[in-house]
Structure formats: structure tokens, C-alpha cells
A and B are shown apart, each in its own frame.
Chain A
């Protein structure tokens, strides 16, 4: 009998373990699993899990495991999983994060699948190209949206506002605020105080003929843009026609507590794919207006891809993942479940198929989308790294303005300085 050394014993054990593992492998391959990770809300999660069920029924052998979390924690978890090389095969992607993830090599390009297993030849070119970085397609558009001024149609009717809500100006907006506040005896204010909403402010900057961020990612908005914006809202606050300052300082209330939902205000700023969600919690019928224009100014709004599906670097079974991705944008049953909840689909065929089954509010968002097509400007360059922090700074410094603790012009200068420093540091 040979003497059994420890190394030999370990070696034998390792080989046995490997042999034992081998027969299991084909079984594992037949049972293909892909992971899909998205940020959601209850309604979206319900629809997405229904999509997963439908897909699994039609594609025996592919199991999809869905992982969902709110927007607030989504990017933290994503960064952790990326660092741990444990990304889901398919991840929901946002326009402002796309370039960051592509630059870090976390996503795989989709070009090799286009026309073979990913059929997108007849899709709208503009929205589709929003998912390209350096000429390569890294993200598949699963819905487009745009800014919208949501308004309470009953309040508008009662106050007798007859402005053209697609072409109206900031003057019309101020007058509407006055009329609504006066009509309701101050119980319902004309609008939320949007002075701390950087999304609305970005439209203001574009109306002035500039972008918030230039093509090199530097801040190109000026202190003048900021001070004129904050001054306009200061005047509206002084006139008492916008929502109370204390409701303004606490930002991002859940939709159910928003002014529109509880009936405190007649207008607020949202993204168009939120119309369905807002109508669900609002008592009165809502309508969709454009962000008011500047008389003689440039278009401020733009149409942007609201969400993408991307293939992650860590995806192993790419063919299963692409099959799932393709079903998302082409399978009529699946797109029927999704509806317009994530935005307007960029396949004309799918849009036509959805048209007859739309609910009233879904129809509103489609009509709105059609009406604004010629009124919007080009898609701005994606926000640079640090943009989220700039957003926080805008709220932080703006809070002091809302509370009347600092002069508008001075605060505007501070904000631009801070924003530039934040962007510089983030690179």
C-alpha cells in the first residue's frame, strides 16, 4: 500500500469533487436562468412580473428572476453589484447614468445582435439613438417621455383659463396662477413652487438659448439664468399664488402627497410617463400642458428615452438575455401588459397595436406626445458625473432663497460656483 500523503489526499478529493460536478453541468445549462433588475413602483412591478410569467410560459427552459427596488436605492445596489462583478444579466438603465456605466466597461454593446435576434429595424430612429455611445448601441429604449405641466382640469375650467396650453408663455402661467388662487379664495394655489426643481430650471436655461451642461460636460448655465428663475418664483410667492414655502422646502413628496393629489395646487411639473400614476391618486381629471415658453425664446423641452434595457458585462447566457430583450419590445402580448407605464414605445407597430385599448389617461399622454413633437428642442448631451450632486446643491442653496435668508443674485452666484466645483471634482 502506498503511503497516502496529505497532498495526495487533497488532490484526490479535488478530482472527485470535479468529477461529481461534471454530470451536473448539462442539466444546469438546460435550465437557463437570467436575472432582470429594474427600479420600480408597485404598478410597474406588477406589470413587470406579469411580463416575466408570460415570457417563461412562451420560452420553456429559460427562467427569469426579477429583482426590483425603488429609484432611491437602485444605483447604490447597482454600484455594489458592479464592483462585486455580480450584475444582473439585464439592467434597467437611465439616460443620465448610461455614459458612466459604458465608460467603466460595465455594459456590452448590442450591435452584433441587431437584425439577428434583436429586431428593431422599423423603430423610431431618434429615440433609439439615445441609447448609443460612440456610435455603438449599448441600451435599448423601452419608452420615451418628456416634461409636462400636469394640471387640474376642473380648476382650470372654473377659473375660466382659455390659454393654449401647448404654446403658452410664463406670463400666461402667472395669470393662470392668479386666476385659480383668486377663484378658490386662496384654498387652491395656482401651482407648486417649482423654484427648486432643477428639471424645470433646465428648460428655462434652454429657453434662454443655452444648455445647462455644455458638450464637454462643463456647466454652461449662467448666474443670470439662475437669478432670473429664482426671482420669477420669488415674485409669485410674494403674490401668494404658489404653494406654501414649507411644502416647497421638503422636496420630493410621494405622488400621493403632492399638491395635485391632495388638491392644494392646480399645477406641477412631472415627466409624461408619470401621468398614469398621478391620475390614479388625483381626485379631479388631470390634463397635460407644456412647460410654459419664454416669449420669443428657444424650445426648452425635449423628448428623452425614459428607460433603457442594457446587457451587462456579467451576463453569461447572452442569447437567452437577448431573446427576453427582444420580446420586451416586439411581443404584442408583452408590450400589451407593459402599456405606456414606462413611456411611449418607439416601435410604430406596437404603438398602433396599443392605440385601441388605451385608457383615458393613457390616451392623454399619447395625444400630448403627438402635440409637442414640433415644439421640443434636441436631446441635450447626457449629464456629466456629479450631476446628482449639482441637483442637491440647487435645492440646498435655493432653500435659503425660498426662506428669504439670502439675496437672489448672491445665491445664484454661489450656486454656479458650487456647481462648477462639483463637476470639476467629480471627473
Chain B
């Protein structure tokens, strides 16, 4: 015991700032929110224990909760594949060996850096407004554009397009993955006269599977947590007609607009369950479609 401390004390002392931060700023609030999810708490009077009441209300009586799930799942189902396809496509173009690749990488990565910002969300709102740039361009070719943002039928797709545009970080990971594929495989295929698309499905995709898997998990988690763009574009309420009522936007409204901290905590814990489930599914199915190069079977 004594030796353990003698040997490890300096390490723990160096770790101390992080440990304090973790217990005080992360673990503490997490446990508090678990407790609050079983209470009614309006931030002014003390929390009141109501057992499973919040969860019961959520599943049996809250119509907006189901609407929020519908919106979020639709978004994840569209945005994740769209973004990954976009990212892979651009990564493959860049992999063709451009001389100024560093510059292009930076340019294509830029939207991802800007994407989470409030300014882009506001810009997006202007672009897709009834008299916005998108419709002005469409009008030039004689198409009468819809009012994208204010029409509940189209508003969600403007956000999918925004998500697609922010392909930067999965693109960089794909690019690294593509670089890792041995060139001689392609050369061999070339000699055999394999057409390009077959090279893609037989060499690129299988060897890229671990990277695709990694990106898929990260992007799915990310998309479930989409907040700021939806919040800004929907005026903070999920408008029009709840078509942009993302789970996180609903959670925020319950917590900071209607001061139902207990209920919002319950929503947050259920979001964790959803994300964990999807990640688990991805990991479970991965053994059927992800193969690592150094695997022996």
C-alpha cells in the first residue's frame, strides 16, 4: 500500500485538476440529474419525489415527446447517410492525388468548423426563406420555390442539407482510411482489367469498413444531439407546427422555458438510452460487416 502511494502519488497529484473537474463538474451533475428525473422540480421550490411519474407521463400521455422522437429519428435516418456519402465522395476525389491537397482539405473542412455556429444557422434561415437566395436562384430558371423554412413539409430537409454540407470531419477520417489501403491491390485489379466501380465495391469498401463503422457511430451520436441549428432555425420552439421539434430542442424548452427540470432530466436520460442502444446495435452488427486487416479467421 505504502509503496503504491510512493510510486503513484505524483501521478495522482498531476491528475488532481482533472479529477476535481470530473467529480465536481461532470459526475456530480450527472448523478444529480438522475435523481432529478424522479422528481418535480421548477428551480424555485425544492424538488419533490414523484417516483416514475415523469417517465410514465413521457410514454403514455406526452404527444409532443413522440413527435420529437419522430422528427429526430427522421433526421438521423436522412442526415447520417447523406453526410457519410458526401464525405466519402469528397475524400475519394481528394485521394486522387491533387498537388494542393492540403489547401483543399482545409477548404472542405471549413464548413464543419462553422457549422455548429449560430451565424451559420441564421444564414441558413435567410438562404431558405421565402424570398431568400435559394428561391431567387430558382426563380432565375423559372421555378417558383417553396417557402422552405416556414413550410412544415420541407423545413426538416433544409437541416438535412445543412448536415450534408458539414461533411468535414468524417471526410478527414475517410481520407486517412483511404491512404491506408495498399496501392498494390488496385494495381493488381488494374492488371486484371477490373472496372472502377468494382474496384470500389470489392477493394475500397471492404477495406474501409472499420473507418466507415467508426464514422457511422460518431455521426449517429452527433446527429441525435443536434441542437443549435434546429434551435435557431425554429425560433427556439420547434416551429413551424413542431416540424423542427428535435428531441434536444424539446428538452431545452421543457427545462429552460417551462422550468420542468425533473421532466427534462428524465428526457435527457431517455436520450442516453436511445444513443446507447443505437451504438450497441452498431457494435453488435459490426462483426458481420466490418473486417479488420489483421484479423485471422
Residues of A within 8 A of B (CB): 72, 76, 79-80, 82-83, 101, 104, 106, 244-247, 249-252, 386, 388-389, 392, 395-397, 399-400, 403, 405, 425-426
Contact = CB atoms under 8 A, between A and B. Distances in A.
A247 B129 CA distance: 10
Contacts of A249: 150, 239-240
Interface of B: 42-45, 57, 129-130, 147, 149-152, 235-242, 256-259
Contacts of A83: 43-44
A388 B43 contact: no
Contacts of B235: 250-252
B239 A395 contact: yes
8 contacts: A80-B43, A104-B45, A246-B150, A389-B257, A396-B237, A396-B241, A396-B242, A399-B241
B152 A106 contact: no
B43 A79 contact: yes
Given A250-B150, A426-B258, 8 more contacts: A76-B256, A104-B45, A244-B130, A395-B237, A396-B241, A403-B241, A405-B152, A425-B57
B44 A399 contact: no
Nearest to A101: B44
Given A82-B44, A106-B44, A399 B259 contact: no
Contacts of B43: 79-80, 82-83
A403 B151 contact: yes
The 3 residue pairs across chains A and B that have the minimum distance between CB atoms = A83-B43, A246-B147, A246-B130
Contacts of A396: 237-239, 241-242
A79 B239 contact: no
B147 A251 contact: no
Contacts of A399: 152, 239-241
Nearest to B243: A399
Nearest to A250: B150
Contact of B258 (A72, A106, A251, A388): A388
Contacts of B149: 250
Nearest to A389: B258
Contacts of B242: 396
Nearest to B67: A396
Nearest to A422: B258
A154 B235 CA distance: 33
Contacts of A251: 235, 239
B121 to A, nearest CB: 14
A104 B43 CA distance: 11
A229 to B, nearest CB: 18
Contact of A392 (B44, B45, B129, B237): B237
Contacts of B240: 249-250, 399, 403
Given A79-B44, A83-B43, A249-B150, A400 B241 contact: yes
Chain A CB within 10 Å, residue with most, of B44, B57, B239, B257: B44
A251 B258 CA distance: 19
B237 A104 contact: no
Nearest to A249: B150
Nearest to B242: A396
Contacts of A250: 149-150, 235, 239-240
A28 B57 CA distance: 51
A252 B43 CA distance: 27
Nearest to B263: A425
Nearest to B245: A396
A403 B152 contact: yes
B148 to A, nearest CB: 10
Contacts of B57: 425
A181 to B, nearest CB: 19
Contacts of A76: 256-257
A79 B241 contact: no
A265 B43 CA distance: 42
Contacts of B44: 79, 82-83, 101, 104, 106
A403 B154 CA distance: 13
A76 B261 CA distance: 12
A370 B235 CA distance: 37
A141 B256 CA distance: 27
Contacts of A247: 130
A361 B107 CA distance: 52
Chain A CB within 10 Å, residue with most, of B43, B235, B241, B258: B241
Contacts of A389: 257-258
Contacts of A388: 257-258
A252 B240 CA distance: 13
A103 B240 CA distance: 34
Contacts of B236: 72
A244 B237 CA distance: 21
Nearest to A247: B130
A76 B259 CA distance: 8
A198 to B, nearest CB: 14
Contacts of B42: 79
A401 to B, nearest CB: 10
Contacts of B151: 246, 403
Contacts of B130: 244, 246-247
A399 B235 CA distance: 14
Nearest to B46: A83
Contacts of A397: 241
A249 B154 CA distance: 14
A72 B236 CA distance: 10
B255 to A, nearest CB: 9
A76 B129 CA distance: 29
A112 B136 CA distance: 64
A83 B256 CA distance: 13
Contacts of B258: 386, 388-389, 426
A104 B129 CA distance: 43
A88 to B, nearest CB: 15
B29 to A, nearest CB: 14
B41 to A, nearest CB: 9
Nearest to B146: A246
A252 B150 CA distance: 13
A162 to B, nearest CB: 34
B45 to A, nearest CB: 6
Nearest to B236: A72
A426 B254 CA distance: 11
A397 B152 CA distance: 12
Given A251-B239, A399-B240, A79 B152 contact: no
A400 B152 CA distance: 9
